[in-house]
């Protein structure tokens, strides 16, 4: 994987925090938040590519993001699971989503950010 591992901590002030060890997972979570909490994998890849200034995402980006997502969520399909990401329609689905906890945590964190 081409991305270096870095730790980022998201804290909403209620002692709930999530450590994100892979910056790609952070990009995926951010894209899902901006896309309403869930989206098809291809839309997430296109969204991240656009944020990076890439018109047509290369297959390598899709593979890298898919690997990061799969490694992070491990096929979790329960929206109440601990963590950030899950597959809402099961392990063979191409729809990615934030867990309920992550959606609330990230949405509150975004709302509390000074503009």
How far apart are alpha carbons 114 and 84 in whole angstroms?
23
Sheet strands (E) in the chain? 8-11, 17-20, 38-40, 85-86, 95-98
Domains of the chain plus CATH, in order, are 8-112 (1.10.10)
Bigger pLDDT: 58 vs 4:
58
Q: What is the mean pLDDT of residues 84-92?
A: 90
pLDDT at 77 over 90: no
17-56 in b/e burial notation, b at 16+ Cβ within 10 A?
ebebebebbbbbbbbbbebebbbebebbbbbbbeeeeeee
pLDDT in tens, 22-51: 899 999 999 999 999 999 999 999 999 999
Identify whether the C-beta of residue 23 lies closer than 8 Å to the C-beta of residue 4: yes
Q: What are phi and psi of 48, to 5 degrees?
A: -65, -40
């Amino acid at each position: 994987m081409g991305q270096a591992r870095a730790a980022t901590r998201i804290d909403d002030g209620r002692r709930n925090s999530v450590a994100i060890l892979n910056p790609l997972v952070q990009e995926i979570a951010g894209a899902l938040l901006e896309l309403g909490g869930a989206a098809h994998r291809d839309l997430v890849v296109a969204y991240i590519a656009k944020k990076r200034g890439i018109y047509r995402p290369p297959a390598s980006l899709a593979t890298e993001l898919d690997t990061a997502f799969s490694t992070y969520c491990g096929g979790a399909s329960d929206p109440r699971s601990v963590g950030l990401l899950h597959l809402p329609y099961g392990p063979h689905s191409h729809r990615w989503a934030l867990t309920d906890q992550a959606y609330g945590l990230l949405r509150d964190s975004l709302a509390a950010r000074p503009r």
